């Protein structure tokens, strides 16, 4: 027995000495990971691990640490075939490159360009015209072990988020499923069959049928998997559906899927383009995948330096229940899903990262990726409103009340672009208790974020309670920049331009259909050069939206209707500057006419107010005016205050009944531009308050603080 005890004691001493040697061989709480490492190594700079998961596991051994553990990544491309997960066991951890080395996280595969054959040297050359045979490359996916191509699916208004299909990226640029026309759209012809109108409760799932007035489809011989995308009815609801058939004699399309509102034509935006058309590979970046043969055909650039295919459907990194995890200076790219997912996390920071060439969003904070997005129903009648109300209410309660986004998580100084379905889904906070989360997106540049999905896929979708969007630059999008739900959010110092480039009846910033969503502050944002020839706004308070303070913003060429208030209440505009617009502010009473079904008994508004118990604390305490919502004729706009705003070269300052406005004499109207052109880009200006008649107490606008800032922390 004594010998046994002695042997055990020796073993303990040996293990203790081993730990001392291990600790002495590296800096305290510091690990290194290298593509040339080995997970059996010590995790030091000289003897690094091979995987981040191994370093994460090693960091968990320091449960009583007082300083953050740092995982240094040596330069290179780290390939993710599954999600890297962090959970409740992980805290106070920093993941970053070593001394500025370039680190890339990819959810795809890089293919050696030598694997690509010219079409003319293959047995498939007769599939294309002779003049293209030396301009098209062929990649056999079976030979490189890729068999999961993903499925093309309908993407559009009110359709769910999902990972993308396999995509091609050439020289770090996203490819395009071969389409026609290449850079324009075609007017829809007469609609012969609207298809089933899901919005009115028709669940027969019957596709529609409409005419086309061009000859090009007659050249499409491989027509079993062609899709069309367009605005098939309303101008805010882009959709994509598969073609069931093409009648080249009658020149008609028949679709597989219905469109939510049914197919209509005659409006300027009722246009379409076709994609996944083999015969239309005729310019750089276009490709077509023959799924039966596993052959990828694509237009060859003059030089291929890099060829990537997306594979991973799940997030590259998931942080669930962890605390104080920092990820910085890493590029997330080439994946069918998202970059980072956070849930129930606290104090986490995603800093100075690049997110590009992803099939979904860059980052999602909170469960589910879909904040309630079925925003509108254009006068479909009371019964239609009731039928849809049940679906809308289910989505509403399960996606915006508490997505468990944790607290005090930040996305800072990131560059997000070429994503498939928006930029950031920002949730957090509990709407039933009005508990704020303090999550934020700050100083981020977000652009070109609708490669695959356009409708209601904004740069930032913000919901929950008490979250922030600060100092972001958002641009180049067919639809909205920011979609808001929830309570008590703050949006400040953002620079938003070149959005709403395709749509009709939508705003760069958009929210609505829930009077309980209140307490928001929009301050010192710059909305400019928005929209197209359709009806577009900078701020759209839709369908009874309420409870917002809009202070110190600049609206310069900000759409056809810079501010649209659709029947709402308790909205304040102060100290704002409107420049160069046909109209400044529009207010209407839609709840008394075409949208009166929204206020009907058991309708959407009543359901949403009752869900939060609007006449009881905390709502009745935080927003006293809300408790008497039904007693004050909610069909009429009220308590809309406009004070100390300046309108320069605005043809009509406001539209709507005078009784709907609290319009102060402190508002100013003039024709002198309040800026000079000192910046290289004429889209930016420096207001000079001495050149205009400013209202008493006018607060000079801090334009130097708007947009992306250097050395932001």
Does some domain include residue 130?
yes
Backbone φ and ψ for 406, nearest 5 degrees, come out as 75, -160
Could you check whether the bond before residue 318 is cis, i.e. omega within 30 degrees of 0? no
Domain end position, chosen among 108, 123, 148: 108
CA–CA distance, 66 with 63 (Å, rounded to integer):
9
Backbone φ and ψ for 117, nearest 5 degrees, come out as -105, 145
Report residue 104 as tokens.
């890339």
Contact 584, 563 (CB under 8 A): yes
**pLDDT at residue 385 in the model:** 32
Integer CA distances (angstroms), 385 to 287, 438, 602, in order: 42, 35, 9
Contact 369, 425 (CB under 8 A): yes
Same domain, 458 and 519: yes
Report residue 352 as tokens.
């100075």
The alpha carbons of the chain give a radius of gyration, in whole angstroms, of 28
Residue 131: CB atoms within 10 A of its CB come to 8
Q: Is 591 helix (H, G, I), strand (E, B) or coil?
A: helix
Buried b (16+ CB within 10 A) or exposed e, 152-182: bbbbbbbbebbbbbbbbbbeebbbbbbbbee
Which CATH number belongs to the domain containing residue 236 in this structure? 2.40.30
Contact 287, 177 (CB under 8 A): yes
Does some domain include residue 115?
yes
CA–CA distance, 33 with 37 (Å, rounded to integer):
7
Q: Which residues pair with 91 in a beta bridge?
A: 323
pTM of the model: 0.92
Among 17, 43, 505, smallest CA distance to 238 is for 505
Q: What are the tens digits of pLDDT across the range 220-279?
A: 998 899 999 999 999 999 999 999 999 999 999 999 999 999 999 999 999 999 999 999
Beta strand 323-328 pairing with 295-299: unpaired
Report residue 600 as tokens.
């009907």
Helix (H) or strand (E) holding 399: helix 382-400
Same domain, 328 and 410: yes
Which CATH number belongs to the domain containing residue 543 in this structure? 2.160.20
CA–CA distance, 172 with 190 (Å, rounded to integer):
41
Integer CA distances (angstroms), 679 to 178, 579, 685, in order: 40, 17, 6
Does some domain include residue 211?
yes
Does some domain include residue 512?
yes
Report residue 434 as tokens.
């009005």
Q: How many helices (H) and strands (E) does the chain have?
A: 5, 56
Does some domain include residue 272?
yes
Contact 328, 351 (CB under 8 A): yes
Contact 104, 78 (CB under 8 A): yes
Beta strand 271-275 pairing with 186-187: antiparallel
Residues constituting the chain: 713
Backbone φ and ψ for 512, nearest 5 degrees, come out as 160, 180
- Work out the burial of residue 215: count CB atoms within 10 Å of its CB; fewer than 13 is exposed, 13-18 middle, 19 or more buried: exposed
Domain end position, chosen among 227, 258, 278: 278
Q: What are the tens digits of pLDDT across the range 524-575?
A: 999 999 999 999 999 999 999 999 999 999 999 999 999 999 999 999 999 9
Q: What is the DSSP string of 509-547?
A: EEEES-TT---EEEES-EEEEE--SS-EEEEEEETT-EE
Report residue 472 as tokens.
């972001």
Does some domain include residue 2?
no
Contact 639, 625 (CB under 8 A): yes
Same domain, 474 and 526: yes
Strand locations in 352-459, DSSP E? 354-358, 363-365, 410-412, 415-417, 424-426, 440-442, 445-447
Low-confidence ranges of the chain (pLDDT < 50): 1-26, 370-395, 677-683
Report residue 197 as tokens.
């109108």
Domain end position, chosen among 108, 135, 155: 108
Same domain, 150 and 241: no
Total of domains in the chain? 4
Residues 6+ apart with CB under 8 A from 249: none
Helix (H) or strand (E) holding 574: strand 569-574
Could you check whether the bond before residue 665 is cis, i.e. omega within 30 degrees of 0? no
Does some domain include residue 3?
no
Contact 471, 494 (CB under 8 A): yes
Contact 517, 487 (CB under 8 A): yes
Q: What is the DSSP string of 613-626?
A: TTTSTTHHHH-GGG
CA–CA distance, 312 with 300 (Å, rounded to integer):
25
Among 467, 471, 426, smallest CA distance to 445 is for 471
Find where tokens 């899903």 sit.
337
Same domain, 193 and 50: no
Same domain, 677 and 555: yes
Same domain, 76 and 133: no
Same domain, 548 and 677: yes
CA–CA distance, 56 with 509 (Å, rounded to integer):
40
Could you check whether the bond before residue 671 is cis, i.e. omega within 30 degrees of 0? no
Same domain, 192 and 256: yes
CA–CA distance, 548 with 509 (Å, rounded to integer):
12
Integer CA distances (angstroms), 91 to 97, 323, 328, 334, in order: 19, 5, 16, 28
Residues 6+ apart with CB under 8 A from 68: 29, 92, 93, 94, 324, 326
CA–CA distance, 404 with 369 (Å, rounded to integer):
12
CA–CA distance, 211 with 272 (Å, rounded to integer):
11
Contact 196, 258 (CB under 8 A): yes
CA–CA distance, 229 with 179 (Å, rounded to integer):
10
Q: What is the DSSP letter of 28?
A: T
**pLDDT at residue 388 in the model:** 35
Q: Which residues pair with 209 in a beta bridge?
A: 193, 254
Same domain, 412 and 530: yes
Q: How far is CA 402 from the centre of its chain?
A: 19
Contact 64, 22 (CB under 8 A): no
Report residue 53 as tokens.
């998961």
Same domain, 304 and 323: no
Does some domain include residue 710?
no
Q: What are the tens digits of pLDDT across the range 262-286?
A: 999 999 999 999 999 999 999 999 9
Same domain, 240 and 299: no
The parent domain of residue 153 ranges over 109-178+281-309
């Amino acid at each position: 027995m004594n010998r046994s005890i002695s042997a055990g004691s020796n073993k303990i001493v040996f293990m203790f000495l081993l730990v001392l040697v291990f600790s002495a061989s590296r800096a305290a709480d510091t690990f290194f990971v290298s593509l040339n490492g080995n997970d059996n190594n010590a995790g030091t700079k000289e003897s690094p691990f091979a995987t981040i998961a191994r370093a994460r596991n090693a960091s968990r051994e320091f449960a009583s640490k007082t300083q953050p553990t740092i995982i240094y990544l040596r330069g290179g491309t780290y390939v993710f075939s599954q999600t890297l997960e962090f959970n409740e066991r992980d805290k106070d951890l920093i993941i970053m490159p070593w001394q500025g080395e370039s680190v890339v996280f990819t959810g795809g595969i890089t293919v050696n360009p030598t694997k690509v054959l010219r079409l003319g040297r293959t047995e498939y050359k007769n599939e294309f015209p002779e003049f293209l045979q030396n301009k098209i490359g062929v990649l056999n996916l079976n030979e490189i072990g890729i068999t999961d191509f993903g499925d093309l699916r309908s993407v559009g208004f009110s359709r769910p988020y999902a990972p993308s299909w396999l995509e091609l990226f050439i020289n770090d640029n996203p490819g395009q499923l071969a389409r026609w026309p290449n850079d324009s759209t075609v007017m829809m012809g007469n609609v012969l069959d609207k298809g089933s109108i899901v919005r009115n409760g028709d669940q027969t799932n019957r596709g529609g049928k409409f005419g086309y007035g061009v000859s090009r489809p007659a050249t499409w011989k491989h027509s079993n998997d062609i899709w069309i995308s367009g605005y098939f009815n309303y101008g805010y609801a882009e959709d994509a559906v598969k073609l069931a058939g093409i009648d080249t004699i009658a020149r008609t399309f028949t679709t597989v899927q219905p469109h939510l509102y049914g197919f209509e034509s005659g409006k300027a935006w009722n246009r379409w383009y076709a994609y996944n058309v083999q015969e239309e590979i005729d310019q750089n970046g276009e490709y077509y995948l023959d799924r039966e043969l596993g052959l990828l055909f694509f237009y060859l650039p003059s030089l291929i330096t890099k060829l990537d295919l997306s594979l991973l459907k799940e997030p590259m990194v998931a942080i669930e229940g962890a605390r104080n995890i920092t990820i910085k200076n890493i590029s997330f790219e080439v994946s069918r899903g998202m970059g980072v997912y956070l849930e129930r996390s606290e104090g986490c920071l995603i800093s100075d990262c690049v997110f590009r060439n992803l099939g979904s969003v860059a980052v999602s904070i909170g469960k589910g990726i879909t904040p309630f997005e079925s925003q509108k129903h254009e006068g479909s009648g009371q019964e239609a409103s009731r039928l849809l109300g049940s679906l809308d209410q289910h989505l509403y309660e399960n996606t915006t009340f508490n997505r468990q986004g944790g607290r005090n998580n930040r996305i800072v100084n990131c560059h997000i672009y070429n994503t498939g379905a928006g930029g950031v889904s920002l949730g957090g906070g509990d709407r039933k208790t009005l508990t704020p989360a303090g999550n934020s997106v700050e100083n981020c540049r977000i652009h070109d974020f609708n490669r695959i999905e356009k409708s209601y896929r904004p740069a930032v979708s913000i919901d929950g309670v008490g979250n922030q969007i600060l100092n972001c630059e958002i641009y180049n999008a067919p639809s909205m920049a920011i979609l808001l739900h929830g309570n008590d959010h703050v949006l400040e110092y953002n620079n938003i331009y070149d959005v709403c480039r395709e749509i009709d009846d939508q705003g760069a910033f958009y929210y609505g259909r829930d009077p309980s969503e209140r307490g928001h502050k929009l301050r010192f944002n710059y909305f400019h050069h928005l929209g197209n020839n359709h009806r577009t706004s900078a701020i759209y308070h839709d369908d009874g939206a309420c409870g917002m303070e809009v202070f110190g913003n600049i609206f310069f060429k900000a759409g056809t209707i810079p501010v649209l208030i659709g029947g709402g209440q308790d909205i304040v505009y102060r100290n704002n500057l409107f420049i160069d617009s046909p109209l400044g502010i529009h207010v209407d009473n839609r709840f008394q006419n075409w949208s009166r079904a929204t206020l009907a008994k058991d309708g959407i508004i009543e359901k949403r107010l009752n869900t939060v118990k609007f006449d009881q604390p905390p709502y009745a305490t935080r927003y006293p005016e809300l408790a008497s919502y039904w007693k004050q004729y909610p069909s009429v706009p009220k308590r809309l205050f406009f004070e100390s705003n300046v309108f320069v070269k605005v043809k009509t300052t406001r539209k709507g009944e005078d009784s709907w406005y609290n319009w102060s004499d402190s508002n100013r109207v003039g024709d002198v531009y309040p800026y000079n052109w000192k910046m290289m880009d004429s889209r930016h200006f420096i207001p000079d308050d001495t050149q205009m008649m400013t209202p008493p107490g006018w607060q000079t606008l801090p334009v130097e603080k708007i947009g992306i800032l250097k050395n932001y922390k």
